[in-house]
Structure 1
Amino acid sequence: MKGIFASKRRLLVGLAASLLLPLAVAQDAPADFSTQAALTLTGEGPWYRLQVPMALQFAARYADLRDIRVFNAEGQAQAYALTLGRAEQQVQVRQTAVKWFPLHGAKDGSGEAPGIRVQRSDGGTLVEVLSETAGKPEQHILRGWLLDASAIEAPLEQLQLDWSSDSDGFQRFSIEASDDLQHWQSWGEGQIARLAFADEQLQQRRINLPGQSARYLRLLWLAPQQAPQLLAAELSSSDRQAKAAPMAWSAALSASSSKPGEYTWELPLALPLERVHISLPQANTLAPVTLYGRRDGTLQWQVLNRSLLYRVPQGGKESVQEHIELYGAPVQQLKLVVDERGGGLGSSAPQITVGLRATELVFLARGTPPYQLVLGNQGAQAANLPLSTLIPGYEPARLSQLGVANVALPTAASAEPLAPVAAATDWKRIGLWAVLLLGVGLLVLMAMSVLRTTQGKP
C-alpha cells in the first residue's frame, strides 16, 4: 500500500513539473512591453552604449529601469548592463619649455649652495641670474641650473632635460623649489643618464616631481665635477578639473495651479531627481521659493529645498539663478510655492525641466539588426549583468571606446513623456496560464482522491 501511495505522489510531482515547465521557460518578448524605440548603431562593436534619455525614463515602470530590454530582429533579448553616470576628474597635462640660468660655485665644492641675485622683467619673468660667489672667476665651476617656472600655475609633475653629448654617464643632482628665491624646499634628488655602447644608446632624461606648484626650481649637481651644459628644459604640469556626473533632462513640463503663487507638476513615476530648472522668462524677476515633493497623492508634502530665484542686472551683466538642487530622493509630484512679496514669477505659470543622474545602457549586439529598445512592463524582473561580466577584462577607460547606440524617439517625446505603444494580445502567455490553472485543478482532484483512498484502508 505504501508503494502505491509513493508512486502516485511521484506521479503528482511529475505532472506539476510538466505543467510549470512551459511557464518557466517562457521569455520576454517585445510585445510584452508598452514602449518600443528603434536603435541605430555607430562605431566599433560588438558592445554598444546608450545614455538613456529622460523620455524613455518616463516610459519605464520602475525608476531603476529593471523593465528595459534590447531585442534584435529575431526577437532575441540581448545581454546588457546598466551603469550610473559618475563624477570624474579630468587631468590635462601640459608640457612647457622653460628658461634656465647657470649657477656657479667654488671649484673645490666647499661652501653652501651658490648665492644669486636676479633681474626680472616687468612681468616678473627672470631675465638674468648673477652669481654672488666670492673669489676669482677661474676658481668657479658650473654647479647647477636655475629653472624659471613662474609662467606655470598648475602642479609640476615631471622634468625633462637635454644636455651636451660630451657629458655621458650618470648625472645626479638635488632638486629644490622656491617661490621667492630666498626660501628653498627640498624635492629630493634626480638622476639623468646617457650611455652608449657600439651603435646602441640608452638615455634617461625624465625626472618625476612631487606634483606641487613652484615658481622656481634649483638643480645642484652632487658630484664634484662640473655640471653638464643644458640644451633644453621642459616641465610637465597637470591641471585637474572635476567633471560633474552626466545628467538626463526632461523636456519642459507645464504646471497646474489652483491658487496664485502655487504650482504643481506630476511625473509618470517617482524618480530620484537631483535638479530642477525653473524658467524665468521676464527680466528683473526676484522670487523666494519653496519646493515641495511627495511620491504620490496619499502622502504629506515634504520640503525639498528653499531657494531664491532671480534674473537681475549685476555689474553690467544679467545675473540668473534658475536652478534648485535636490538630493536624489524619489519624488513623483512637485509643488512650488512662491513668496509673492518678491513680485512673483509673472502672469503665466512657469515651466520646469527636471534632471537626474544619467543611466548608461551597454549591450552586446548579437543576431540580426535592426535592434530595438523596449520599456514598460509591470511584471518584468531585473535582467541586467554586471559590467565586468558583460565585457570580460573590463576597465573603466574602455567604456568611452565602445560603439554608440542612438535611439529614435517619436516626435511627441520631445514635448511630453512617451505615449505607450498598444501591446498585442499575448495568446501564448494566456494559454500558458490557462494550462497552469487547469493543471492545478487536476492536481487538487488527484490529491483528494489519494487522500480518500488512504483513509479508507485499515
Structure 2
Amino acid sequence: MNKCLSIVLAALLAAPLVQAEYATQVPLKLEGEGPWYRLELPLGVQMAASHADLRDLRVLNAEGEELAYALTLGSAQPEEKRQEAAVKWFPLRGPADAQAAPAIRVQRGTNGTLVEVAPEQTGQGEQILRGWLLDASAFDEPLHRLLLDWSAEQEGFQRFTIEASDDLQHWQRWEDGQIARLSFADERVEQREVELPGAKARYLRLLWQAPQQAPALLAARVVSIESQDLAPPLAWSVPLSPTSSKVGEYRWELPLSLPLEKVRVQLPPGNVLAPVSLSSRGAGKLEWQPLTSGLLYRLPQDGKETLQDQIELWGTPVQQLRLRIDARGGGLGSEAPAIRVAVRGTQVVFLARGSAPYRLALGDASARSAALPLGTLIPGYEPKHLAGLGRAVAPDEVPAAMRQVADAAQSAADWKRIGLWGVLLVGVALLGGMAFSLLRKPEVSEH
C-alpha cells in the first residue's frame, strides 16, 4: 500500500499545474540596426492580451525562446519650429593694431534698415578687415542660430566675438563664435552654424580674434527656433461596430478594460449636429457611470467643411461603452455608427537573440510580467537613444484566421486545464481513500 501511495504522489508532483499557453502570436518584421528593436504596439494586437497591463506579453524567437524586453508608454516629443531669414552684412575696417571696435558712419533707410556702413577716417595706418556688421532689424524674432558662408580660399578655424545692439551705440557682449572649414583627401568638413542666446537684437557685430584671417562673407542668415512639446502619441483601434443598438443608443464591449484617451465617432455624410453623452461600466456590472458629454458635427463654414468627431476621455478605464444621441439634433441617420478608440501608445523594446523570425505572443491568462526596466535592458540608456534603435513592425490587428486559431487553442487549453484539475481531484480522492482505509484497518494483536 505504501508503494502505491508513493507512486501516486510522484505522479501528482510531476504533473504541471499550468503550462504557458499564448493564445495569440503575430509575426514581427525587423528594420534597421539591432540588437535592440522598438515596436509601436498596435491597439488591435494589444486587445488580444489577457491583461490590460500586458503582463502576458512575450517576444519569442524562431527557437521559441523568450527574449528580454521592456515596456514604455509613449511620451510627449519636443518639436522645433524653425524660422530663417537672410540678413545684410557690411565690412568693419579699422587699424590693424587697434584693440577697440572700428568706428563707423551709418546711413539708414526709412524702415530702419542699414543702407551704408563706412569706417570713420582716423588716418591711423593701414585699414584692414576687422569683422562684419549684420543687420537683423527686419527679423523681429529671438535669435538662436547664426549661419555663415564665406569664401572658399579661407580654411581652418575662424574665431570671433559676437556683440548685439539695437541702436548701434550701446553693445552687449554675447557668446564667442567659431566657424571652420577643413579639407583632407577628397572630403571637406564644415561648421557653419553658431549658437546665439535666443534674445532679440537689431544688429550683430562680429569681430575676428585674428583680423588677418577674417574671411570674406558670402551669405549670412539668422535663425529663430520655437520649441514645443507635442502630445504623447496615441494608438488607435480599427473601426468597431456596436455590439447592440437601438434608436439613439449604441453600445460597445471591448475585450479589455482600456484607459481610453479619445473616442472617434464615424459620422454620416451631409450636415450633422449631434449632442451626445458617453457612459461606461465594467464587465458584469449593471449600473452605467457617466463619462462625459459633447457635441459632434459636420457643418459647412466659410465654404469649407468643419468636422468635430472626437470626444476626449483623458485615460479613463473603459470596457463597456454606451453612446446616447440627443434626438433634438436630428440623430446620426439610420446606420449604426462605428467608433475608433485610442489609448496612449505603448512601445515594446526587446533585445534580439537567436534566429528570426521573431514573434509577439499574448494571451496567457496565468502569466506574470517579465518586463525589465529600460535602464536594465539597455545599459547606459538615455531617452534620446530610443529613436535611434532598430524598428519592429507588427500587423495593425490580429488576422481573422489567426484569431480563430487562437480561440481554438484557448478552448483546447481550457479543456486541458480542466483535465489536469480533474486528474488532481481524482488523485486527491484516491489519497483520501487510501488514508481512510489505513485508518480503519484493525491492528494485529501480538500474542
Q: TM-score, normalised by structure 2?
A: 0.73
Deviations 1:23-61, CA, capped at 9 Å, x for gaps? 59x873xxx122222333343333333222122122111
Q: 2:400 aligns with which of 412, 416, 428?
A: 412
Which of these residues, 174, 189, 194, is aligned with residue 188 of structure 1?
Answer: 174
- Secondary structure of the corresponding residue to residue 66 of structure 1: coil
Q: Deviations over 1:325-363 (max 9, x none)?
A: 111011112222223222222232222110111212222
**Which aligned pairs between 1:338-353 and structure 2 lie closer than 5 A?**
338-353=325-340
In structure 1, the residue matched to 2:443 is none
Q: Is the 8 A contact 1:156 1:211 kept in 2?
A: yes
CA RMSD, Structure 1 to Structure 2 (Å): 4.9
Q: Secondary structure at the match of 1:389?
A: helix
Distance apart, 1:311 and its partner CA: 1.1
Give, in whole Å, the separation in 2 of the partners of 1:222 and 1:48: 48
Secondary structure of 2:369's partner? coil
Aligned residue runs from structure 1 range 57-96, under 5 A = 57-91=46-80
Within the alignment, does 1:422 sit opposite 2:408 as a pair?
A: yes
Whole-Å separation in 2 of the counterparts to 1:413 and 1:80: 27
The answer to whether structure 1 residue 119 and structure 2 residue 109 are counterparts is: yes
Q: Is the Cα–Cα contact under 8 Å of residues 106 and 114 in structure 2 kept in the other structure?
A: no
Q: Shift of residue 169 of structure 1? A: 10
Find the residue that maps to 1:421 and give its secondary structure.
helix
Separation (CA, whole Å) in 2 of partners of 1:393 and 1:441: 57
Instruction: Note closer, same or farther for the CA distance 1:227–1:380 as it changes in structure 2 (3 Å cut).
Output: closer
Distance (Å, rounded) in 1 between the aligned partners of 2:276 and 2:105: 64
CA contact (8 A) 1:95 1:234 kept: no
Distance in structure 2 (CA, Å) of the matches to 1:353 and 1:208: 45
Q: Is the 8 A contact 1:156 1:213 kept in 2?
A: no
Residue aligning to 1:336: 323
Unaligned stretches of 5+ in structure 2?
Answer: 1-7, 181-189, 439-447
Residue 216 of structure 2 corresponds to residue 209 of structure 1: no
Asked if 1:175 corresponds to 2:163, the answer is yes
Matched, 1:101 2:90: yes
* 1:381 matches 2:368: yes
Whole-Å Cα distance in 1 between the matches of residues 94 and 290 of structure 2?
71
Deviation at 1:87, TM superposition (A): 1.5
8 Å Cα contact 2:178/2:194 also seen in 1: yes
- 1:367 partner SS: coil
Contact 1:412 1:418 in 2 (8 A): yes
* Cα pair distance change 1:155/1:326, threshold 3 Å: farther
Q: Aligned to 1:254, what secondary structure does the other structure show?
A: coil
Determine if contact 1:157/1:212 at 8 Å carries over to the other structure: no
Q: Is the 8 A contact 1:99 1:148 kept in 2?
A: yes
Q: 1:145 aligns with which of 132, 144, 147?
A: 132
SS of 2:371's equivalent in the other structure is coil
2:134 aligned counterpart, secondary structure? strand
Deviation of the 1:88 alpha carbon: 0.5
State the percentage of identical aligned residues.
44
Query: 2: distance between equivalents of 1:372 and 1:111?
Result: 68
Q: Greater CA deviation, 270-279 or 46-55?
A: 46-55
Shift of the 262–41 alpha-carbon distance from structure 1 to 2, 3 Å rule, reads same
| Match 1:282 to one of 269, 284, 301 | 269
Secondary structure, in 3 states, of the residue corresponding to 1:188? strand
Q: Which stretch has the larger CA shift, 185-194 or 326-335? A: 185-194
Q: Secondary structure at the match of 1:75?
A: coil
Are residues 81 and 429 of structure 1, via their aligned partners in 2, closer, same or farther at CA, if it must alter by over 3 Å? Answer: farther
Preserved contact between residue 27 and residue 359 of structure 2 (Cα < 8 Å): yes
Per-residue Cα deviation, 1:200-223 (whole angstroms, up to 9, x for no partner):
xxx998653113455542446799
Distance change in 2, residues 1:255/1:79 (3 Å):
same
8 Å Cα contact 2:28-2:392 kept in structure 1: no
Between stretches 384-393 and 312-321, larger displacement belongs to 384-393
- Answer whether contact 2:28 2:394 (CA < 8 A) is retained: yes
CA distance in 2, matches of 1:148, 1:274: 48
8 A Cα contact 1:67 1:382, kept in partner: yes
Distance 1:45 1:445, change over 3 A: farther
- SS of residue matched to 2:361: strand
CA 1:144–1:261: 2 relative to 1, 3 Å: same
Instruction: Give the counterpart of 1:354 among 316, 334, 341.
Output: 341
Cα distance in 1 between the residues matched to 2:158 and 2:207: 14
TM-score normalized by the length of structure 1: 0.71
- State which of 394, 400, 403 in structure 1 corresponds to 2:388: 400
- Number of paired residues? 418
Structure 2 residue corresponding to 1:34, chosen from 19, 23, 33: 23
Structure 2 counterpart of 1:72, which letter? N
Closer, same or farther: CA 410–192 of 1 in aligned 2, 3 Å: closer
